[in-house]
A and B are shown apart, each in its own frame.
Chain A
Amino acid sequence: MNLPNYFLADLPPEATLSPMMIAAACHTLKRNREKYLLTRTTEDLVKILCEVAVEWLQPENKFRRLALELGPEQTGFSQATLARGLDAFFRRFTPENFQALLAQDLGADTDRHFWHGPGLLVHIAAGNLPNPALMSLTLGLLTRSAQFVKCASGAALLPRLFAHSIYDLDHKLGACLELAEWRGGNVALETALFAEADCVTATGSDETLLAIRSRLPAKTRFLGYGQRVSFGYVAREVLRDEDISKTVSQAADDVIAWDQNGCLSPHVFYVEERGAIESDEFAKRLAVELANRESSAPRGNVPVAEAAAIAARRSMYETLAAHRGDSKLWASQGSTAWTVVFEHETRFRFSPLNRFIYIKPVPDVAAVLPGVDEIHGKVSTVGIAATPEKLPELARQFARWGVTRICPLGQMQNPPLTWRHDGRPALGDLIIWTDCEQ
C-alpha cells in the first residue's frame, strides 16, 4: 500500500511494538495537541471534517480507492458493500448535521472555553465494521483531544485510511492522531497506553469491557459500548401494493448493510399479520430482493465457521419445515449468501448474520414485547415501517419498553451524527464542563 509511515499501524507486520514506544507516542500526541489542536475553533474543525468527507465521496479519491481495492481482502466486505457503507457514513458529514450535533450535546451558543475534551482520548475499537472507529475519531477531533486508536487485530485498514486522509488535508491535525494494531489483552502495551489516557472508550463484548475497565487507573474515565442487537417492525398498513416494493427494499437495505455484522443490524423483522399483503408473502418478496441484491452488491466471503453456522441453521429449518407447515425457508442455492426464515414463533432469535434474517408474523406490537424479553437492555435499534399516523404510538411503546433508538426501516445501519450511542450523548459524554456561576 502506498501510504507513508505516519502511524504505528503503518509499520510493517514484523515490527514489534514496545510499551516504551506506546508511551513515547502518547507524549508526542499530547505535545502536538497543545501546539496544534487546542487553538483550533470548532467551526474550523467541522470545516475540515466536512472537507475530508467530500474527498471520500469522490470516486477518484485515493483513500477511497485504496479502501475499495484492499477492503474486500482485509475486511471481508465486498466492494459494493464497502462503497455503500462508506458513502452513507460520509454523506452525514455536513456543516448542518455537525451543528445539530453540537447544539444537541453542548448547547447552541456555548462558549468553547467553558468545556473541554479529554487530553488524551484512547479508543479500543472492535473489528466487525469500520464506522464506529471512524465516528470515535471524528467526535474526538471535535473535543480537541489527542487520540490513540487501538485497532482490533486485522481491522486497522479503514481507520488508518481515514486518519491518513485527515493528515493529508491537515498535517497538524493528523499529528494529533495515533493508530496501532495488536491483539486485545496485551497487558504490557495496554498498561502503558492506559497510564497516559484521560478517557478510554471501548466497543466489544461485556467480558472485554469488564476486562478493560478493571485495568484502568482510577483517574481515567471509561465509556464502554457493549454488544447490542436490533430488530425491525413492519406495520400492516404499509403491506399494500402501493408500498410493498419500497418496504421490501428498505428491509433488504438493512439486511445487506455491512452484511448485517453490526449491533444496529436486524436479526429479526416482526411483521404484522392481516395486511393486504400477508407476512409470509413479505418474506417471500424479501427473499427475491435479497437474491437481486446479491447480484448488485454481493455479500463478502465469510469464514468457514460462520458459513457452517448458517448451513447448520438452514438444515434445522429445512427439517422443521418438513414437519410443520407454518415455517418456511428461502435460501440462496450453492452458497450461504442470503437466507430468509419465516416462522410463527414470536420469540426473538439470534441470527447467524451475514444476511440471514428471520421474519416473524405478529398480531400487533404487544405480541412482540414478550418475545424480546430475553434481550431486554441489550437492544440498540428498532427499524420501523409504518404510516405516519401509526408510527408515534409504536415508537412510544418501544421507547417505554427500553429501546434506545427508533429509526425508519432501511436506515438501521445509518444513524445520524446526533445519534445517542446506546441512549447516551456520544459527544456530550466526552466533555468536561467548567461551570461559571453568576
Chain B
Amino acid sequence: MVDLPSPISHGRFSELALELFALQFKYNSTYRKICVARNLTPATVKAWTQIPAVPTAAFKGLELTSIPPPARTAVFHSSGTTEQQPSRHFHCAESLALYEASLIAWFLENVPADLRLICLTPPPALVPHSSLVHMFDVVRREYSLPASAFIGQLARDGSWTLDFVAADNQLKGSNNSRPPVIMLGTAFSFVHLLDYLAAKDLCFNLPEGSLVMETGGYKNRSRVLPKAELHALITERLGVPRENILCEYGMSELSSQAYDSEIHPLSSTRHPRIFHFPPWARGQIISPETGREVAEGETGIIRIIDLANVFSVAAIQTEDLGVRRGDGFELVGRAPLAEPRGCSLMNA
C-alpha cells in the first residue's frame, strides 16, 4: 500500500507548478513557441492559474515533449476513430516511471487493494499505445494476484471488442467466490458486455465487495447510454451495487487521473459523483467566454495542471465540459464541433 498522498498547500502547488513551467519553457521548444505567441513566459507568469494551457488537439500535429527522439521509449495515442490522427504523448524510461508512480498512488487511494482484475480491454501486448491499458497493467502488477485477465481483443479494423467466451468464463468463475473482483473498462466495452449478457439472458452476482470502474466515452463504438442507465444495467447484470461503481477521467495526454469514487475515505464529506485529481494535479473549470475560472456550480471547459506531466506539458486544455463542484468537478460531456469528424485541424 502506498502512503496516503498528503495534501499540497495552494502556495506549494503554485511554487512547484511555476518551477515546472520554467523548465518546460526552457526545454520544450514547441511549447515555448506557444507561450511566446501568447506573451506568457516565466518572466510574466506569476501564478499557476496563468500558466498557458495547450489544447489536447495540439498533441496531434505537434511534438509536445522535451524528450529527444532517440530517448523516446514509448508513445501513448489518444483513442478515437481511425481516420483521425491521434494525439501522441511521448515517454522515456523516467517519464514512464513517473506516470506509473502517479497512477498507482491515486488508484490505490480510490480503490481497495487486492481485488482480482478483469479488464475489458485487449492485453497490453496488443495495444502498446494505450495509456489506459498500460495503467491497467501497472495495477495488475501492483495487485500481484493470480488469474487477472484481459478479455478484450482487437477487431480486424483495429477497434476493441470482447472475447465473449473469456468473459463468460471469467464471470462464471467469479460467482460468489473469493476474492472480490474489479472489472475495468471503457463505457463502450461495458455496453458490449451488457448487450451480450442481455442477449443470452445472463445475470451474475460478483462476490461481495466487487467493484466496477468505467472510463471514457463511446467514440461511436457502441450505442450510447446515459451514465445512470449504464450503471443500473451493470447492477442488474453483474450484481455490483451503484456505490461500488466508480468512474475514471483520464486521457493519454496526462499522467494523472481523476476518480469520482464514493469509496474514498473523504467521500462522505464530498458531493457524490464528483471527480477529484490527486494532490499533484488540479482541474479548473474555465468559462469559454471569459477564459477565467467559473463560479461554483457553473459549467465550463476542463483545464488541468498535472505536475506528473514533467516531460511533456503540465497545463492541458481539454475539450470536455464540467461543472465546478467544490475542489472537484462533475463531468458534463464533450464540447461539440471542437473538431469535426474526419478532419484534423492540427495536421500541420
Interface residues of A (CB under 8 A from B): 304-313, 315-324, 334-336, 347, 349-350, 352
- B-side contacts of A307, CB under 8 Å: 287-289
Interface residues of B (CB under 8 A from A): 30, 33-34, 36-38, 53-55, 57-58, 61-62, 287-291, 299-301, 317, 319, 321, 333, 335-340, 343, 345-346, 348
- A319 is contacted by which of B54, B287, B291, B338 (Cβ under 8 Å)? B54
Which of A310, A317, A319, A349 has the most C-beta atoms of chain B within 10 angstroms of its own C-beta? A319
Q: A334-B290, A334-B291 are in contact. Are A319 and B58 (CB under 8 A)?
A: yes
Whole-angstrom CA separation of A368 from B335 in the bound complex: 29
* Nearest CB on A from B271, distance (A): 20
Closest to B298 in A: A304
Judge whether A323 and B301 touch: CB under 8 Å.
no
Judge whether A311 and B301 touch: CB under 8 Å.
yes
Judge whether A312 and B290 touch: CB under 8 Å.
no
Judge whether A308 and B37 touch: CB under 8 Å.
no
Could you show 10 A-B contacts with beta carbons less than 8 Å apart? A308-B319, A309-B338, A311-B335, A312-B288, A313-B345, A316-B346, A318-B37, A318-B38, A336-B289, A350-B337
- A-side contacts of B335, CB under 8 Å: 305, 308-309, 311-312
Judge whether A323 and B289 touch: CB under 8 Å.
no
Whole-angstrom CA separation of A324 from B339 in the bound complex: 19
Judge whether A323 and B348 touch: CB under 8 Å.
yes
Closest to B318 in A: A312
Whole-angstrom CA separation of A258 from B74 in the bound complex: 49
- Interface Cβ pair total, 8 Å cutoff: 94
Judge whether A313 and B338 touch: CB under 8 Å.
yes
Whole-angstrom CA separation of A307 from B58 in the bound complex: 19
* Nearest CB on A from B65, distance (A): 15
- A-side contacts of B301, CB under 8 Å: 308, 311-312
- A-side contacts of B333, CB under 8 Å: 305
Q: A309-B336, A312-B335 are in contact. Are A322 and B291 (CB under 8 A)?
A: no
Judge whether B289 and A316 touch: CB under 8 Å.
no
* Nearest CB on B from A418, distance (A): 33
- A-side contacts of B299, CB under 8 Å: 304
Q: A312-B57, A312-B335, A312-B338 are in contact. Are A322 and B37 (CB under 8 A)?
A: yes
Whole-angstrom CA separation of A312 from B55 in the bound complex: 7
Closest to B35 in A: A322
Whole-angstrom CA separation of A396 from B129 in the bound complex: 50
Q: A309-B338, A336-B289 are in contact. Are A322 and B33 (CB under 8 A)?
A: yes
Whole-angstrom CA separation of A307 from B299 in the bound complex: 11
Q: Known A-B contacts: A305-B336, A335-B289. Give 6 more (CB < 8 A).
A: A309-B338, A311-B288, A318-B38, A319-B58, A334-B291, A349-B345
- B337 is contacted by which of A317, A324, A347, A352 (Cβ under 8 Å)? A352
* Nearest CB on A from B46, distance (A): 20
- A-side contacts of B62, CB under 8 Å: 319, 323
Closest to A343 in B: B345
Closest to A317 in B: B345
Judge whether B340 and A350 touch: CB under 8 Å.
yes
* Nearest CB on B from A229, distance (A): 11
- A-side contacts of B34, CB under 8 Å: 318-319, 322-323
Closest to B342 in A: A374
- A-side contacts of B300, CB under 8 Å: 304, 308
- B-side contacts of A349, CB under 8 Å: 340, 343, 345
